[in-house]
Amino acid sequence: MDIWKLLAGLMLFILAMSLIEDAIRALAGNRVKDFISRSTRSPLKGLLAGTAATAVLQSSSLVGLLTLAFVGAGALHLTNALLIIFGANLGTTFTGWLVTLIGFKLDLEALSLPLISAGGLAWVAAGRHRMHHAGKFFLALGLLLMGLEFMKTGVEAVQAVNAEYLSQFNTLQFLAFGIAFSALLQSSSAAMVITLSALNLGIIDLHAAAAVVIGADLGTTSTVVLGAIRGSANKKRVALGHVLFNVITDTLAFLLLVPLVAVVSIIDDPLLSLVAFHSAFNLLGVCLCTPFVSSIAAFLQNRFSAEQDKANRYLDAAAVEVPDAALQALDNELANLASRVISQNAALFSHSRPSATTFRQSYQVSKQLEAEMLAYALSVDITAADDGVGARLEALLTSARAFLLSSKLCKDNLQDLQELADYQPRLYAKLVSTANRFYVLLQTTRAQGSGPCDAEQISELTTTNEHGHRLLHNLIYTAVKDGELPLDKVTTVLNVNRALYNANTALIEALAVADPGQPQAAVA
């Protein structure tokens, strides 16, 4: 047998896993998102969600991606994310069971060819809709089965390496091989298939295979580490939690290697013994770490400071790959921007009015936040998302622009506002009273809902704004008639009144388009 067949099988397997993840993300991304969101209300549900999702999807990396995305979006608490990761580690052991129960019993090449043919035809001919992605899935499944068959037969080439040479390896060397092999392939599933094949041919014994599997379990964390190096603080915390869990679990498995192998050896089939060993030590790790998950989360929360050069709180680089998580992050960030702008504007009419410099600095932060939201939204992958995602993104950005416009109108009139306070305190007091009335109503309205204001609320806000504007307009004219306001100041005062009216109008327009109220709290 040619060793190239083994390498080709490896590459086909890894390519197929990547294609399957893409197809599942397109076909069931929303369902998986909803499942994860609904299933994290308790520790047990979080564990089961991670286990079930990974077992069904046969992709711990896809489950991990979704988990990281929703943590970054602020929609998933760190504790619950860790529980999903714990469960995903257990769920990924189902790959070994499937390969053992099916892969070594059937003619995989005969199964793969029809899947590749039919799936490839649907993928090419169907266009960009569900049939296209379904075709991609079956094409990838066929490639995966072909890769498995190539690996099964290709491993026989390793027999050319003297079995006596391999027998000289100690347990630590097999462990190190598993770590390096899995880290190199970025796939513990591929490492498991190779190990099962070698065990099936008698190239290595059960103890050696078990050591390789422990190493592969640890080596696969390199994928998460590499993905988190340039990620947000929350992403790094989840990645570190994943590494800690695997280090604890795999260390325990290695220390208990001999008794655990002795227990699973009661199964006559060595392949089933190996996958049982894999599931057993991961289950042991879950049972050990789950009672301490809150303490682990508290420890991780103090690691990795959030980036200080960014204005946003919820945006995360990983979330752009999952449109629903990206929308949640932008919803939360819009609520953050709305609260900032409304508080900044309202503070101008309070007794402790901020200085012009302070307001301009606050405005710059809001301006940066709106720019970060725009850049983030433009990077969201909407190619496989629902039709409404693009419209929702546009609504969020339209609302953000309106909030920033309101803040800018106030900023541009700081000097005129100060002059009015100095030479016309009576008019200024009335302006403050009118503005406060509007902002009290505005904040009360936002506190009552969790989405864009309805027509009745918009009408009430608009009426209050227009009434205040007309009232001040009439007071200004009266002051001019009575000689209380010099003619050279009339334009300035009218401009202040108009700026306040336009700033309030911009806020109303923003709230009518897309305002989530307050940031959605992560699931506790």
**pLDDT tens digit sequence for 20-57:** 666 666 655 555 556 555 655 666 777 777 787 777 66
pLDDT, mean of residues 230-251: 83
Banded pLDDT at 147 (limits 50, 70, 90): confident
- How much is the pLDDT for 37? 58
- How much is the pLDDT for 16? 74
- How much is the pLDDT for 321? 64
Domain boundary among 276, 301, 326: 301
Domain boundary among 238, 270, 301: 301
Task: Please check the confidence at residue 157 and state whether its pLDDT lies above 50.
Answer: yes
Please choose, from the candidates 17, 24, 6, 9, the residue with its C-alpha nearest in 3D space to the C-alpha of residue 220. Answer: 17
Please choose, from the candidates 290, 284, 287, the residue with its C-alpha nearest in 3D space to the C-alpha of residue 260. Answer: 284
175 and 244 part of one domain: yes
335 and 292 part of one domain: no
User: CA 311 to CA 330: how far, in whole Å?
Assistant: 13
Task: Please check the confidence at residue 418 and state whether its pLDDT lies above 70.
Answer: yes
Query: Please, which residues have CB within 8 angstroms of residue 165's CB and are 6 or more apart in sequence?
Result: none
**Range of the structural domain that residue 378 is part of:** 317-513
| pLDDT single digits (tens) 170-201 | 889 889 888 887 777 666 777 787 888 788 87
Query: How confident is the prediction for the chain on average, in pLDDT?
Result: 78
The answer to whether 69 and 379 have CB atoms below 8 angstroms apart is no
Task: Return the CATH number at 368.
Answer: 1.20.58
As a whole number of Å, the CA-based R_g of the chain is 31
225 and 99 part of one domain: yes
| pLDDT single digits (tens) 326-378 | 787 888 888 888 888 988 888 888 777 777 878 888 888 888 888 888 888 88
| pLDDT single digits (tens) 429-481 | 888 888 888 888 888 887 776 567 778 888 888 999 899 889 888 888 888 88
- How much is the pLDDT for 524? 35
Task: Tell me whether residue 307 is in a domain.
Answer: no
Please choose, from the candidates 344, 403, 339, the residue with its C-alpha nearest in 3D space to the C-alpha of residue 371. Answer: 403
- How much is the pLDDT for 406? 92
76 φ, ψ (degrees, to nearest 5):
-140, 125
User: CA 333 to CA 374: how far, in whole Å?
Assistant: 11
Domain boundary among 242, 270, 301: 301
User: CA 236 to CA 301: how far, in whole Å?
Assistant: 10
